[in-house]
């Protein structure tokens, strides 16, 4: 059994350790400062001498198993075990931030179902089916106030009976002695993870989104350095948009809405002109065709402009291809099957319904147009 030093001191970064077992997945040590993945918190990584540890998990007996990249050391090997401290400390802050957020959510009548401490944000799945945005912003404000207060965070091992007597916000999931994490004046919850000593180490917290999952609201948060980066990134975006739109920061939305409206109007104008151009081009091509012949040609127009040239009940046959090899076929389905079979060398792909078919082709499109004329007009 490993001596789990992270329980007694979460800030211990290294220790001498000896390999006591080697398996297919990793190694076990007589003592360790590496926290194994659990409770939504990723496992630690770092080095055992020159051996790189890429992850730490629990084995079937719940003991820390250190996953080695490459060859493993032999049983009896003794070396310095050292944490990737930046990685560990970031998750200590994130884990502590999650406790703080769950405690404040609970004060608003919202329980925590599950949590995930990701590389870029914290997610907390609540037991609520809806949460007003103002409530989440209030939770953010209260969390940052607790951070500024620098409330003490500590872990104590207690008997199961004493822990139960605290009437914590979350039920105890283990039997026997319990490790309880306290945030002074705010929270007490059973947890075997690693945490910072004070809320002030978290730095700051931001709510940035929520979503529905399994009938619950899952809230998303950024803390510490990730929150700072998010805040500064948003400030940069606002500054760049302000310059692009020639608007003050508080006028960006109005300027963007105006631009969107102008763009929509422009798109409508282009579409109308495109339809007219498509109808004119089709009419001119049709005039040069013999009565009863299919109208077949290439165009520089977007293929979508030909959608309304012919109607569903129109008996005319049209095969038009644009410069990107996209086509539109209007005619009987039997004619389309004939076209696909006869032009198989051009890898025609697509389909449709009624008398409209759409797709794409490859190869020499000019030759394909000529072959299509032979196939459809005989």
- Residues 119-131: tens digit of each pLDDT: 999 999 999 999 9
Task: Supply the pLDDT for residue 324.
Answer: 87
Per-residue pLDDT, averaged over 166-176, amounts to 90
Least Cα distance to 198 among 179, 181, 178 occurs for: 181
What is the CATH topology of the domain spanning 277-377? Diaminopimelate Epimerase; Chain A, domain 1 (3.10.310)
Per-residue burial over 145-158, b = 16 or more CB atoms within 10 Å of its CB, e = otherwise? ebbeeebebebeeb
Q: Rounded distance, CA 323 to CA 24, Å?
A: 58
Task: State residue 313's pLDDT score.
Answer: 83
More confident: 290 or 72 = 72
Note the maximum CA span of the chain: 96
Enumerate the H helices of 170-251 as residue ranges. 224-245
Fold of 3-83: Elongation Factor Tu (Ef-tu); domain 3 (2.40.30)
Confidence at residue 71, expressed as pLDDT on a 0 to 100 scale:
93
| pLDDT at position 50 over 90 | yes
Give the pLDDT score at 173.
Answer: 86
pLDDT confidence of residue 323 = 85
What proportion of the chain, given as a percentage, has pLDDT over 70?
100
Residues of the chain with CATH 3.30.980.10: 89-240
CATH 3.10.310.30 residue window(s) in the chain: 277-377
Task: Please state, as a whole number, how many other Cβ atoms lie within 10 Å of the Cβ of residue 49.
Answer: 13
What fold, for 89-240? 3.30.980
CA torsion, ordered 189, 194, 195, 196, to nearest 10 deg: 150
pLDDT at 143 over 90: yes
Distance (Å) of CA 191 to CA 29, 66, 80, 195, 244: 23, 21, 28, 10, 49
Strands 295-299 and 153-158: unpaired
- Judged against a pLDDT cut of 80, whether residue 248 lies above it is answered with yes
* Cα atoms in the 13 Å half-sphere on the side-chain side of 147: 22
């Amino acid at each position: 059994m490993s001596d789990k030093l992270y329980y007694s001191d979460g800030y211990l970064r290294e220790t001498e350790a000896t390999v006591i077992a080697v398996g297919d997945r990793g190694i076990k040590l007589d003592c360790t400062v590496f926290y194994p993945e659990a409770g939504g918190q990723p496992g630690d990584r770092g080095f055992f001498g020159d051996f790189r540890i890429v992850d730490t998990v629990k084995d079937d007996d719940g003991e820390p198993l250190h996953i080695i990249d490459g060859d493993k050391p032999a049983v009896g090997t003794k070396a310095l075990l050292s944490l990737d401290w930046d990685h560990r400390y970031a998750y200590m802050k994130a884990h502590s931030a999650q406790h703080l957020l769950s405690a404040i959510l609970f004060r608003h009548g919202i329980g925590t179902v599950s949590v995930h401490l990701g590389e870029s944000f914290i997610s907390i799945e609540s037991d609520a089916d809806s949460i007003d945005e103002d409530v989440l912003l209030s939770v953010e404000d209260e969390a940052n106030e607790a951070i500024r207060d620098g409330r003490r965070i500590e872990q104590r091992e207690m008997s199961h009976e004493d822990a139960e007597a605290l009437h914590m916000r979350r039920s105890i999931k283990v039997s026997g002695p319990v490790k309880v994490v306290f945030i002074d004046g705010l929270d007490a919850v059973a947890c075997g993870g690693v945490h910072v000593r004070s809320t002030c180490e978290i730095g700051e917290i931001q709510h940035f989104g929520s979503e529905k999952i399994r009938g619950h609201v899952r809230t998303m948060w950024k803390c510490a350095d990730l929150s700072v980066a998010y805040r500064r990134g948003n400030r940069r975006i606002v500054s760049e948009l302000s310059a692009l739109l020639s608007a003050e920061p508080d006028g960006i939305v109005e300027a963007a809405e105006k631009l969107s409206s102008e763009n929509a109007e422009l798109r409508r104008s282009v579409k109308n002109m495109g339809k007219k151009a498509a109808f004119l081009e089709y009419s001119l091509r049709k005039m040069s065709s013999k009565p009863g012949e299919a109208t077949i040609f290439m165009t520089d127009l977007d293929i979508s402009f030909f959608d309304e040239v012919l109607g569903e009940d129109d008996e005319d046959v049209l095969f038009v291809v644009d410069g990107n090899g996209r086509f539109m076929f209007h005619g009987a389905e039997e004619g389309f099957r004939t076209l696909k079979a006869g032009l198989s060398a051009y890898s025609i792909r697509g389909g449709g319904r009624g008398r409209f078919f759409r797709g794409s082709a490859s190869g020499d499109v000019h030759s394909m147009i000529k072959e299509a004329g032979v196939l459809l007009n005989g």
